[in-house]
Protein backbone atom coordinates (compact mmCIF):
# COMPACT_ATOMS: atom_id res chain seq x y z
CA UNK A 1 0.00 0.00 0.00
CA UNK A 2 1.44 3.39 -1.00
CA UNK A 3 1.79 6.21 1.50
CA UNK A 4 -0.98 8.06 -0.35
CA UNK A 5 -3.39 5.12 -0.13
CA UNK A 6 -2.86 4.91 3.61
CA UNK A 7 -3.71 8.60 4.02
CA UNK A 8 -6.84 8.83 1.87
CA UNK A 9 -9.60 11.02 3.23
CA UNK A 10 -13.07 9.58 3.64
CA UNK A 11 -16.29 11.54 4.14
CA UNK A 12 -15.77 12.19 7.85
CA UNK A 13 -12.13 13.24 7.61
CA UNK A 14 -12.92 15.44 4.58
CA UNK A 15 -15.69 17.27 6.45
CA UNK A 16 -13.47 17.62 9.55
CA UNK A 17 -10.62 18.99 7.39
CA UNK A 18 -13.02 21.49 5.78
CA UNK A 19 -14.17 22.69 9.20
CA UNK A 20 -10.56 23.16 10.34
CA UNK A 21 -9.84 25.16 7.17
CA UNK A 22 -12.88 27.39 7.77
CA UNK A 23 -14.67 26.05 4.69
CA UNK A 24 -18.39 26.24 5.38
CA UNK A 25 -20.52 23.46 3.95
CA UNK A 26 -23.87 21.79 4.40
CA UNK A 27 -24.08 18.04 3.88
CA UNK A 28 -27.34 16.21 3.23
CA UNK A 29 -27.55 12.43 3.60
CA UNK A 30 -29.63 10.45 1.09
CA UNK A 31 -29.90 7.00 -0.46
CA UNK A 32 -27.03 6.00 -2.75
CA UNK A 33 -27.09 7.67 -6.17
CA UNK A 34 -25.02 6.22 -9.00
CA UNK A 35 -26.06 8.36 -11.97
CA UNK A 36 -27.22 11.96 -12.38
CA UNK A 37 -30.71 10.83 -13.45
CA UNK A 38 -31.25 8.81 -10.26
CA UNK A 39 -30.95 11.79 -7.93
CA UNK A 40 -33.07 14.40 -9.68
CA UNK A 41 -35.88 14.27 -7.13
CA UNK A 42 -33.42 14.51 -4.22
CA UNK A 43 -31.60 17.43 -5.78
CA UNK A 44 -34.76 19.40 -6.51
CA UNK A 45 -35.04 20.25 -2.81
CA UNK A 46 -31.39 21.34 -2.50
CA UNK A 47 -30.32 24.83 -3.63
CA UNK A 48 -27.49 25.45 -6.07
CA UNK A 49 -26.09 23.76 -9.15
CA UNK A 50 -25.69 20.02 -9.01
CA UNK A 51 -22.84 18.29 -10.73
CA UNK A 52 -21.80 15.45 -12.89
CA UNK A 53 -18.18 14.39 -12.77
CA UNK A 54 -16.25 12.53 -15.44
CA UNK A 55 -13.04 10.67 -14.58
CA UNK A 56 -11.02 10.36 -17.78
CA UNK A 57 -7.59 9.66 -19.17
CA UNK A 58 -6.06 10.44 -22.51
CA UNK A 59 -3.82 8.47 -24.85
CA UNK A 60 -0.75 9.92 -23.11
CA UNK A 61 -2.07 8.52 -19.78
CA UNK A 62 -2.78 11.99 -18.39
CA UNK A 63 -5.68 11.71 -15.92
CA UNK A 64 -8.52 14.27 -16.03
CA UNK A 65 -11.51 15.14 -13.88
CA UNK A 66 -14.27 17.19 -15.47
CA UNK A 67 -16.86 18.65 -13.11
CA UNK A 68 -19.86 20.17 -14.86
CA UNK A 69 -23.41 21.23 -14.15
CA UNK A 70 -25.55 18.07 -14.24
CA UNK A 71 -27.32 19.11 -17.46
CA UNK A 72 -24.21 20.24 -19.35
CA UNK A 73 -23.55 18.24 -22.49
CA UNK A 74 -19.90 17.22 -22.72
CA UNK A 75 -18.87 15.93 -26.13
CA UNK A 76 -15.84 13.71 -25.45
CA UNK A 77 -14.80 14.00 -29.11
CA UNK A 78 -14.66 17.81 -28.93
CA UNK A 79 -13.49 18.21 -25.31
CA UNK A 80 -9.81 17.34 -25.96
CA UNK A 81 -9.37 20.39 -28.20
CA UNK A 82 -10.87 22.61 -25.47
CA UNK A 83 -8.72 21.06 -22.75
CA UNK A 84 -5.45 20.64 -24.62
CA UNK A 85 -5.51 16.89 -24.23
CA UNK A 86 -5.33 13.86 -26.45
CA UNK A 87 -8.28 11.55 -27.18
CA UNK A 88 -10.21 10.82 -23.99
CA UNK A 89 -11.61 7.62 -22.52
CA UNK A 90 -13.01 6.77 -19.10
CA UNK A 91 -10.47 5.92 -16.40
CA UNK A 92 -10.82 2.58 -14.65
CA UNK A 93 -11.94 2.00 -11.08
CA UNK A 94 -8.50 1.17 -9.69
CA UNK A 95 -6.99 4.38 -11.11
CA UNK A 96 -9.98 6.34 -9.77
CA UNK A 97 -9.50 4.95 -6.28
CA UNK A 98 -5.73 5.35 -6.42
CA UNK A 99 -5.92 9.04 -7.39
CA UNK A 100 -9.18 10.36 -5.91
CA UNK A 101 -9.96 7.79 -3.20
CA UNK A 102 -13.46 7.11 -4.54
CA UNK A 103 -15.37 4.38 -6.35
CA UNK A 104 -17.67 4.71 -9.39
CA UNK A 105 -20.79 6.65 -8.50
CA UNK A 106 -18.94 8.85 -6.02
CA UNK A 107 -16.60 10.74 -8.37
CA UNK A 108 -16.33 14.31 -7.12
CA UNK A 109 -14.15 17.40 -7.28
CA UNK A 110 -13.79 17.01 -3.50
CA UNK A 111 -11.81 13.84 -4.24
CA UNK A 112 -8.96 16.08 -5.42
CA UNK A 113 -7.99 16.34 -1.75
CA UNK A 114 -6.73 12.76 -2.08
CA UNK A 115 -4.64 13.48 -5.19
CA UNK A 116 -1.56 14.59 -3.27
CA UNK A 117 0.69 13.67 -6.20
CA UNK A 118 -1.29 16.06 -8.48
CA UNK A 119 -1.79 13.40 -11.15
CA UNK A 120 -5.32 14.56 -12.03
CA UNK A 121 -5.85 17.69 -14.12
CA UNK A 122 -9.04 19.46 -13.04
CA UNK A 123 -11.49 20.94 -15.55
CA UNK A 124 -14.49 22.89 -14.31
CA UNK A 125 -17.55 23.86 -16.31
CA UNK A 126 -17.79 27.68 -16.46
CA UNK A 127 -21.38 27.43 -15.17
CA UNK A 128 -20.09 25.88 -11.92
CA UNK A 129 -17.36 28.53 -11.61
CA UNK A 130 -20.08 31.20 -11.74
CA UNK A 131 -22.71 29.48 -9.57
CA UNK A 132 -23.51 30.86 -6.12
CA UNK A 133 -23.76 27.35 -4.63
CA UNK A 134 -22.23 24.12 -5.96
CA UNK A 135 -23.07 20.58 -4.84
CA UNK A 136 -20.71 17.60 -4.83
CA UNK A 137 -20.61 14.17 -3.23
CA UNK A 138 -18.37 14.21 -0.11
CA UNK A 139 -16.37 11.14 -1.27
CA UNK A 140 -19.47 8.96 -1.01
CA UNK A 141 -22.62 8.77 -3.12
CA UNK A 142 -24.87 8.63 -0.05
CA UNK A 143 -24.64 12.38 0.62
CA UNK A 144 -24.41 15.73 -1.13
CA UNK A 145 -22.29 18.61 0.15
CA UNK A 146 -23.28 22.17 -0.74
CA UNK A 147 -20.61 24.86 -0.85
CA UNK A 148 -20.93 28.57 -1.51
CA UNK A 149 -18.68 29.54 -4.42
CA UNK A 150 -16.22 31.33 -2.12
CA UNK A 151 -15.89 28.19 0.01
CA UNK A 152 -15.43 25.95 -3.04
CA UNK A 153 -12.65 28.24 -4.27
CA UNK A 154 -11.13 28.24 -0.77
CA UNK A 155 -11.14 24.42 -0.92
CA UNK A 156 -9.28 24.50 -4.26
CA UNK A 157 -6.78 27.04 -2.90
CA UNK A 158 -6.15 25.04 0.28
CA UNK A 159 -5.37 21.89 -1.71
CA UNK A 160 -3.25 23.99 -4.09
CA UNK A 161 -5.24 22.92 -7.13
CA UNK A 162 -5.13 24.69 -10.48
CA UNK A 163 -8.48 24.79 -12.21
CA UNK A 164 -9.05 24.95 -15.95
CA UNK A 165 -12.43 26.65 -16.47
CA UNK A 166 -14.14 25.82 -19.78
CA UNK A 167 -17.48 26.93 -21.17
CA UNK A 168 -18.79 23.64 -22.53
CA UNK A 169 -22.03 25.28 -23.67
CA UNK A 170 -20.17 27.27 -26.32
CA UNK A 171 -18.28 24.25 -27.66
- pLDDT tens digits, 41-60: 565 567 789 899 999 999 99
Superfamily of domain 3-170: YbaK/aminoacyl-tRNA synthetase-associated domain (3.90.960.10)
Check whether 38 has a pLDDT greater than 80.
Answer: no
The winner for highest mean pLDDT among 15-19, 32-36, 76-80, 141-145 is: 15-19
Check whether 62 has a pLDDT greater than 50.
Answer: yes
Ranges of each domain in the chain: 3-170
pLDDT over 90, % of the chain: 75
What is the rounded CA–CA span in Å between residue 58 and residue 157?
Answer: 26
pLDDT of residue 96: 96
pTM greater than 0.95 = no
Phi, psi of 3 (to 5 degrees): -60, -35
What is the rounded CA–CA span in Å between residue 115 and residue 86?
Answer: 21
Distances (CA, A) of 148 to 27, 58, 140, 152, 155: 12, 31, 20, 6, 11
Check whether 39 has a pLDDT greater than 80.
Answer: no
What is the rounded CA–CA span in Å between residue 149 and residue 45?
Answer: 19
Amino acid sequence: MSAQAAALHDRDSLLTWMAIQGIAQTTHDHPAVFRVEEGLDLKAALPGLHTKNLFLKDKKQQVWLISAAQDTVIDLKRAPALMGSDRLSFGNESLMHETLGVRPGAVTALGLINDVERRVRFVLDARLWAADIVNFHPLTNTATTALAQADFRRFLTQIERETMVIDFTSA
